[in-house]
Structures are given as structure tokens and as C-alpha cells.
Structure 1
Amino acid sequence: MPNTEEEWKTIEAGFNTKRNFPTCYGSLNGKHVEIRAPSNSGSEFFNYKKTSSIILLAIVDHNYCFSYINVGASGNASDGGVFKNCSIHEQLENGLLLEDGVIVGDTAFPLKTYLLKPYPGVNLSAEEKIFNYRLSRARRIVENAFGILVSRFRIFEKAIPTYLNTVDAIISATCALHNWLRKKSKSYITATCIDRED
């Protein structure tokens, strides 16, 4: 997570300027990373996609960098359940992390004072549709970051055939390398990796 007030302000300004979503400090989502299930694990890692996986839960900043990751929850868990049990949840619940801002997520997450998600349904007012559109623009950042990660680190293209603690280390290392490359390399992200609007 950002360490200084200045870093938080930079993230908030980025979401406001690039995504037209003020007071936003991150985009939250989970990604299933396919693994070769450990023997005798039963259905513990079997997910709704009918593969075995562990979950990478991440908060991503305005610049496609991972601000927070939680790695290793079994694939049969929901994103909301993983979030409720992650290390950052208690800090957010107790108001120790975000004072005047929010993170954005999809419908898998609970609505909280610090966590916004879209209005449900189809019969929405014009204001609700605008809110959902802007929230979607801010939330897609995390989806793009996952896409960049997979396209740049080919180990994610198929089931990772190693021990679970090694898989966790691989995912953590690739997220750290992604952040470093995002900050240091102008050619790391191509135009096809991120959303464009006209």
C-alpha cells in the first residue's frame, strides 16, 4: 500500500483525472490463477470455471500498479469471501486506511462506506447509469492490470505445475516485477493492453 500521504494524493488525482472518479484510491478484484491441484485436495481448489486455481486478490492504482495483493486463497472461495479474510479488511473496516476516499469493486464485493460497487438492475435512473459508467471506468483498471500481467508473464497461460507455496511466491514476484517494469519501462505496456475511449 502507499506509504505517504503524497502517494495517496497522487493515486486519487490519477483516478480523478484519468477516470473521472474523484476520491478513488484503488480498484479491487480477484483473479483465478490456474494451478495443478495438489493430490488429495478434493474440490478445495476447484472453481466455477471447472479448473483448479488459487486467487490473486488485488487493489490496483490509477497507473496499473498493484498497491495491495493477497495470494493463495483456494479457487472455490468467492472474491467477497477472500476480501473479508484478507489482511487489509480489518484496517478498512476500522477506518485506519482510508479517511475520505473509497476503493471500487464489482458486485462480488459488499457495499461499504469505503468500497463502492455498481447499482444493480436494469431500470436505473440517468444518474445511476452515469455513476455505473464512471465506476466501471475506474474498476476496469484492475482488469487491465491482470491482463497485462498475464500477457507479459507467460507462466500464467497454463496451470502452474509446482507446490502451492512456490505458486504463491511466483505470483508475488511477478506482481513486484510488473510494478517495477510499469514504473521504469516505457515499452512495458502497449496500446492493446489497456482500455481506450474516443
Structure 2
Amino acid sequence: MIDNKLLHHRKRRKNPTTISAAADQMKTKGLSDIITSLILFDDQEKHELDELQEEKLQFEQNHTKKRRAMADYYSDLKSSHEDSSQIEAARHRKAKAATVSAAALACAAAEQQHDASTEKATAPGPQRRLWVKNRSKDWWDQCSSPDFPDSEFKKAFRMGKKTFDLICSELSSVVAKENTMLRDAVPVRQRVAVCIWRLATGEPLRLVSKKFGLGISTCHKLVLEVCAAIRNVLMPKYLRWPEEADLVKMKHEFESISAIPNVVGAMYTTHIPIIAPKISVAAYFNRRHTERNQKTSYSITVQGVVDHRGVFSDICIGYPGSMADDQVLEKSTLFQRANAGFYQGSWIVGGTGYPLTDWVLAPYTQQNLTWTQHAFNEKIGEVSGVARGAFARLKGRWGCLQKRTEVKLQDLPVVLGACCVLHNICEMRGESLDPELEFELVDDEMVPEIGIRSATAMKARDAIAHNLLHHNHAGTSFLS
């Protein structure tokens, strides 16, 4: 057995060439297989690239077709839109032409009717215009007639014809309106008359409408428009703080009334009744008027400063009726100017509802007054009476201030301001108030919690009171 293995080993050692040739043959076959595989991979890659190129070309062709289709669709849509616009424009032109033709025909018919009525001598009164309801204006035509008595005109409008004409002239450029094709504009005099008669009488709008031959809504609009014009045009001219030269004259006039020097105005605050507002009801509730009248009352305040004639030089309108006089004063522009030293060296006289300050001269309010203090209160009452009388004439002249009005709360300050301006014009022009229109003011004056707010003012008031009594300027009515 061993001999056979040795023999086999010897045979292998004897044939090395045969073994090397076999190995070379195996290597050649392996390389051939690798090359074949590489060639196959290369052919496959080329095939895939050809397929991708073909797909890309097909995609580009499809994209080009879609883009052309979209362009054609957009072109068709644009053409359709242009055609629609042209049709709509043509339709609009036809409608406009039809409207103009109808208006022209209406005007021609109205002119023919007017001409026909002119030819008829028996046709009385003015002819109706298109779209205008026929209302009687007999009362206003009578009042505007030159033959209408001035006394009757004054009774209706609280001023004479000359004063009324002055106001119309001042407001003409602002309130005048142009005639239209369908109706005539309301004349300036009638516009102003509607406003003033409404303020003077306080009558409801339905009665104003009957008096002037106008619609209720038209009358309401005219009242607000004219009041706004009065505020914008006439207030800067007829209701303003006096110039320095006028203040000197005013001090002299007040001193001749009361013997108190350096007084430039008298101050008073009144309440205007209103309908219960929809917001902040508690703020406008007037407890003092409610308790007195046994009827729930709401109001807004009007604070005013007047000169020796009773002409307003400053007003503050619109604060709620629950506020006391001193609270309204602190909110006003008058108070702000005073803090800036505007009234330095001068006095504005107020009643018991105002505090004593460096510029507000108020009466003594404590109990058990001395003779000197009584004398001072008597004289200062004469000055504050000027303001009270001015407000009494204001409410007597303009009846709309005496009762709850139909005017909305937000529009009320404009209306009240117009009343104050018209009051000033009447006072400046000497328009006397009919005794039948005299009005009694009822305004509660509550003593402020802090009645004295300046030690300097307290000393100055004591000095004025001493001079009044010991220089025989004070009366003796307080002794009775």
C-alpha cells in the first residue's frame, strides 16, 4: 500500500509541465469570462441610454403639444372675453342713451305742461314738478312776504327781519344748494327759517313739515345742516373770548354793577332735558330733577360764561346731567386755560355750586355768616345774576331747550351751540325778548365737597368783602 503512494508521488513530480499548462488554461478562461461580462454590461448600459433618450424625446414632444393646446385655449378665452366686454359696453351705452332720452322727454313734457299752464289765466298757484309731493307753503310764503309785520315775524322767529336777513347773508355761501333737473333746491331763506323756527318753538318735525311745505326727513336734515353751518361760520365770529381791550371795558362794567374789581365774566351751568339714552343711562340720570318733579329725568349740561350784557364768551356743552357744577368745570377747556395762567389777575364769578380758586370768585357758603360776608354774597349775587338771566333768556327764546327733544344725543351739542350763537346775535343787536316767553330757571346748585381750593383766593375774597362793607358799596337788604 505504501509502495503504491510513493509510486504515484513520483509520477506527479515527473510531469510539472503538464500541471503549469493546466493552470494557464484556467486563467485564460477566467479572463475571457470577465471580458465577456464587461462587454455585456456595456451593451446593457448603451441600451438603457437609448431608451432614456427616446423617452425624453417623447416627453418633449408631448409637452410641446400641450403648450400649443393651452395657448390655443387661452387665445379662445381672451377672444370670448373681449366679445363679452364689447357686448356689455354696447348694452351700457344703449341703456345710458335710453335714460338720457327718457329724461329729455320728461323735461320736454314738463316744459310743455308749464307752458300750457302759463297760457291758462285761470290756473292758480305754482305747478308741481316731477317727483315732488305737492305741499302747501302758504304760511311760509306769508311770513317771507315784504308786507308781513315785523312784530309777527319776531314772534315766530324770536328776531326781527333785519337780524334774520343778516344770518341768511352770513350763511348763504354754505347752505345754498343748486337746482337739479328733477326738482328745485330749497332757498336759503327757507332753509334758515326751518332751523330757527324749529329751535324757537321746539315743535315736532311733523308740524315743521306742515308749516314750510317740506318733508319731515328734509326738515330734520335742514335743521342739522344749518346748525352745523352756524357752528362753523358764525361761532368763531359771535362767540369767542374777548380781546384785551374788551376785557378792560368789561371789568369796568362789572365793577359798576357790583363794586368788585377785575371781574371778566359771570358763570352758570344749566341742564337740558333729554330722552333716556341707549348707553350710559346712569351717567345722564338727573337725580335732583327726578326727586323734584316725581318723574324720571335725564339731562346734559351747558356751562357758560357771559359778559355784562349777557353775551356768551365761553361755553362747554354735553357732559352728563349726573355731574355737579364743579365737576363739569374741571372737565372744561375754561379750566384747562386757567391752569395755564390764562385768567391770571382776573375773576370769573360763580354761584354756590363752584369752588373758590385763584380765578373763580364764589360766595361764602358756611352757616352763621358775618355782616361782611353777607354784604359780599349780596354783591356777588348781582354778578352771577347776569349769567342766570342770560340762561333764562336763552331757554325762553329757544323753546327746544325747555323739553325733551327729538335730536339724537350725538347731534345735540351742535344744536345747543347754535342756540347759544343765535342768542348772542340777538343780544348784540338788541333783540328784546317778549315777556310772554320769559322762563324760570330751576337748577340745583350743590356746594362742592372742597369749597376752598386756594388760601390766596380766600384772603383775596376776605379783602374784597371788607372793602365792600367799609367803603359803603354793599347794600343792606341782608339785614331785613
Alpha-carbon spacing, 1:169–1:151, altered in 2? closer, same or farther (3 Å): same
Quote the offset at 1:21 in angstroms. 2.6
What residue number does 1:111 align with?
Answer: 356
SS of 2:282's equivalent in the other structure is coil
Count the aligned residue pairs: 193
Return the letter of the residue paired with 1:163.
K
Quote the offset at 1:187 in angstroms. 2.6
Using the alignment, how far apart are the partners of 2:321 and 2:383 within structure 1? Answer: 25
Please state which structure has a larger fraction of its residues in strand: 1
Quote the offset at 1:107 in angstroms. 2.2
What residue number does 2:275 align with?
Answer: 36
Using the alignment, how far apart are the partners of 2:354 and 2:361 within structure 1? Answer: 9
Q: Which structure is richer in relative contact order (CA contacts within 8 A, separation 6 or more)? A: 1
Quote the offset at 1:193 in angstroms. 5.7
Alpha-carbon spacing, 1:136–1:3, altered in 2? closer, same or farther (3 Å): closer
8 Å contact from structure 1 (residues 15, 25) kept in 2: yes
CA RMSD between the two structures: 2.0
Quote the offset at 1:169 in angstroms. 0.9
Quote the offset at 1:132 in angstroms. 0.7
Single out whichever of 30-39 and 122-131 deviates more from structure 2.
Answer: 122-131
What residue number does 2:192 align with?
Answer: none
Unpaired runs of 5+ in structure 1? none
Alpha-carbon spacing, 1:114–1:104, altered in 2? closer, same or farther (3 Å): same
Quote the offset at 1:127 in angstroms. 1.4
Using the alignment, how far apart are the partners of 1:189 and 1:130 within structure 2? Answer: 33
1:8 is aligned to 2:247: yes
Please state which structure has a larger fraction of its residues in helix: 2
Query: 2:258 is matched with which residue: 11, 19, 23?
Result: 19
1:57 is aligned to 2:303: yes
Alpha-carbon spacing, 1:132–1:153, altered in 2? closer, same or farther (3 Å): same
Return the letter of the residue paired with 2:312.
F
TM-score of the two chains, using structure 1 as the length reference: 0.90
1:185 is aligned to 2:430: yes
8 Å contact from structure 1 (residues 119, 132) kept in 2: yes
Match runs of 1:115-154 below 5 Å: 115-154=360-399
Alpha-carbon spacing, 1:87–1:6, altered in 2? closer, same or farther (3 Å): same
8 Å contact from structure 1 (residues 106, 118) kept in 2: yes
Unpaired runs of 5+ in structure 2? 1-239, 291-296, 440-480
Q: Could you give the per-residue CA deviations for residues 5-29 of structure 1, whole angstroms, max 9, x where no partner exists?
A: 1111121111111333321111112
1:71 is aligned to 2:317: yes
Using the alignment, how far apart are the partners of 2:340 and 2:244 within structure 1? Answer: 19
Using the alignment, how far apart are the partners of 1:117 and 1:36 within structure 2? Answer: 33
Using the alignment, how far apart are the partners of 2:250 and 2:322 within structure 1? Answer: 32
Return the letter of the residue paired with 1:106.
G
Quote the offset at 1:119 in angstroms. 1.0
Return the letter of the residue paired with 1:54.
I
Using the alignment, how far apart are the partners of 2:389 and 2:259 within structure 1? Answer: 17
Return the letter of the residue paired with 1:104.
V
Q: Could you give the per-residue CA deviations for residues 69-113 of structure 1, whole angstroms, max 9, x where no partner exists?
A: 000001111111110011121211231x22321011122212101
What residue number does 2:416 align with?
Answer: 171
Return the letter of the residue paired with 1:103.
I
Alpha-carbon spacing, 1:89–1:121, altered in 2? closer, same or farther (3 Å): same
Query: 2:405 is matched with which residue: 153, 160, 165?
Result: 160
Structure of greater Rg: 2
